[in-house]
Every structure is written in structure tokens, then in C-alpha cells.
Amino acid sequence: MLLDKSKLKKIKGDASFRNFYRKKIGNKKSIIVWATKEKEKNLLIYDAINNLLIKNKILAPKLYSEDYKNNFIEIEDFGNDTVFNLLKKNKNKKIYLYKKSVNLLNKIQKIKQNKTKNFKGKNYRIPIYKNSKLFKEATLFSEWYAKKHMPKKKLLNFKIKINKQIKFLLSNLKLKNNIFVHRDFHASNLMDYNGKLAIIDSQDAIIGNRAYDLASLIDDVRFKSNKKFKDIIYDYYLNSDKKINKVFLLNDFVILSVLRNLKIIGIFTRLAARDRKKKYLKLIPYTWKLIEFRIKNNRIFDDLRKILDLNFSKKIRNFK
């Protein structure tokens, strides 16, 4: 069945290769997810991860129908109330909404299975978030952002130095890769639906470090927050599980926050240059501020800080 997009309402998309449409017949609403690029990840794997979440009593979009041959699936519609949208309307609720988000994260991190099935009935094993993958992601910063801001001769030397620091930081991670990681756990992917929080955009889920999703939530580049607020939410997570090694968690949280935000600067630059999605460029200055905040007065980042300060002025960092 070919998708007749003229009868559907296109809705705001994300940074992926997918398009989203709202289908409404009477009082029944659903979302059409359409993808031709990275089709397996955006349709098959997305459904497989959603299945796993739903089996673990976590609110995620149910599959209503699929037409994989014609590049789309039809899923449950959770409306428009993302946590991010709710925060924009009422910032007085931010502690309440973030604590609710941490409660959801705790549920997600209790998932034990690493295998699930997609709508074709095939097994999907969730991959491990190996250091080699984290390294490759962090190097997007130099491959796209640094490349844009420095000449070729200087770039080669910069890459050698920053890659050495990325490897050093990865070698200092302490926690095991044994936790379900959503990998994009932030306010824009959490939705308030009938008083409960639902999770979307789960196709990149992986088995990795428990600090990763926490860093995604607290150091979210889309929602600005101060140190006091960040500390409240971090401590709330810490107090939710007395078995967590506090020293290891803080160590990994800070490292993964910095590496993730280096990756994000690279991705936002790539989206503008390659995919003509320039709206994300305005988020780069705050992403820089998050990196600066985490590496300040932390000796493990001494060499990284020197490399970044030497090559990226305040003027460059504030350029949108």
C-alpha cells in the first residue's frame, strides 16, 4: 500500500532521516513513521526496542500496522506534550518533571533482556556500547566542527592530540557496560501522556554505562539549567539506588557528558553542512558551555582543556 501523504498532517521531525505524519480518522489518531534511509534502524529496530520497553511496563509507542516494503509503520500517538514543551510553558515544574524523568530512567535501567523481536518476527540483539564506538562518536567533533574552523595543516595535528585525550578519558571509565541505555534520554524524547511519562525515539538503544542516559538528561543541550538544579537532579538519582558506587558514577558521568557533548557539536555541524538542517547550530554555544562547566577544575581534563582553549576562542564558541 502506497502512503498517501496528502491525507496526513506532517509534524515536526527530528535530526534523523525519518518523517512523521499524524493520521486522524474520527477520534482515532496515530503516527506514521516514514523512512527510506536507515530503514532497518528507523522502522524495524525502533519497533523491536519499543516491544522490549512495553514488555517491561514502560510506556512506548505500540505498533498498529506496518508496510515495511513501502517504507512506513503506523504507531501509537502520544500527542505533543514533551517534557521539553511542558518546561517551556511552566519552568516552575522543572524539578517535578525531572524527578519524574529520573523515576522513568530507573525503570528503564532495570531491564535485564538484551534480545527482542521486530514485527517481522526476527530476533534483534541490542549491541554493546564499546569504547571503540564511543571513540568514533566523539571524533565527530574534529571530523566536522574542527574541520570547519581550522586549516588542513593545523587540523591534522589537532586530531592527533584530541584523539589521544578521548582515548585517555575512555580508559578511565569505571562502570560496567551492563545497563540498558536509551542513548538519547532527554526532555524532547520524554512525553507526558495521560499523566504518565512515555519514551520515544528509542531506535539507538544499546547496552552500556548507567551514567550515559543520566548525563543526557541532566546536561541536555536543549534545556538550560544551572548548577544547583543539576546537582538536585543528580543527587535524586544517586539516592534512588543505595548500591550505586558514588565515586565511579560521578567519574563516568562527567567523562561521558563531555564526550557526548563533543559528539553533539560534531553532529549539529554535520546536520547543517550535509543535511541542510541548520536549526541545531543555535544550540552549539550552550553545548560549549556545558563542556566548559564539566572540565573546569577537574584535573582529568587538564590536557583536553588546554587543547580546546588553544584552538577555539570564545568568539568561535559563541558563533551560531
Q: Name which of 15-24, 105-114, 306-315 the model is least confident about.
A: 15-24
Q: Hey, is 21 helix, strand or coil?
A: strand
Domain boundaries, the chain: 5-76, 83-115+126-317
CATH number of 83-115+126-317: 3.90.1200.10
**Per-residue model confidence (pLDDT) at position 12:** 73
DSSP secondary structure letters along 69-89? GGTEEEEE---S-BHHHHHHH
Q: Is the model's pLDDT at 36 over the cut of 80?
A: yes
Q: How many Cβ atoms from other residues are within 10 Å of residue 232's Cβ?
A: 15
Average pLDDT, integer, range 38-60: 96
Percent of the chain residues topping a pLDDT of 70: 97
Q: How confident is the model at residue 78 (pLDDT cuts 50, 70, 90)?
A: very high
Q: Please name the CATH architecture into which domain 5-76 falls.
A: 2-Layer Sandwich (3.30)
Helices vs. strands in the chain: H and E counts, helices first: 14, 11
**Per-residue model confidence (pLDDT) at position 14:** 64
Average pLDDT, integer, range 286-307: 97
185-205: pLDDT as tens digits: 999 999 999 999 999 999 999
Average pLDDT, integer, range 77-82: 94
Let me know if the fold of 5-76 is the same as that of 83-115+126-317.
no
Q: Name which of 4-13, 218-227, 249-258 the model is least confident about.
A: 4-13
Q: How confident is the model at residue 213 (pLDDT cuts 50, 70, 90)?
A: very high
**Per-residue model confidence (pLDDT) at position 26:** 81
248-258: pLDDT as tens digits: 999 999 999 99
**Which pTM was predicted?**
0.94
Q: Is the model's pLDDT at 84 over the cut of 80?
A: yes
Looking at the DSSP bridge assignments, the partners of residue 232 are: none
Q: Is the model's pLDDT at 1 over the cut of 70?
A: no
Biggest distance spanned by C-alpha atoms of the chain: 62
In whole angstroms, what is the distance from residue 277 CA to residue 269 CA?
Answer: 9
Average pLDDT, integer, range 227-249: 95
**Per-residue model confidence (pLDDT) at position 319:** 77
Instruction: Give every CB contact of residue 227 below 8 A, 6+ residues apart in sequence.
Output: 293
**Per-residue model confidence (pLDDT) at position 242:** 84
Question: Mapped to the 3 state alphabet, what secondary structure does 31-67 carry?
Answer: EEEECCCCHHHHHHHHHHHHHHHHHCCCCCCCEEEEE
Average pLDDT, integer, range 68-75: 95
Q: How confident is the model at residue 158 (pLDDT cuts 50, 70, 90)?
A: very high
Q: Is the model's pLDDT at 2 over the cut of 60?
A: no
Q: How confident is the model at residue 10 (pLDDT cuts 50, 70, 90)?
A: confident
Q: Is the model's pLDDT at 15 over the cut of 90?
A: no
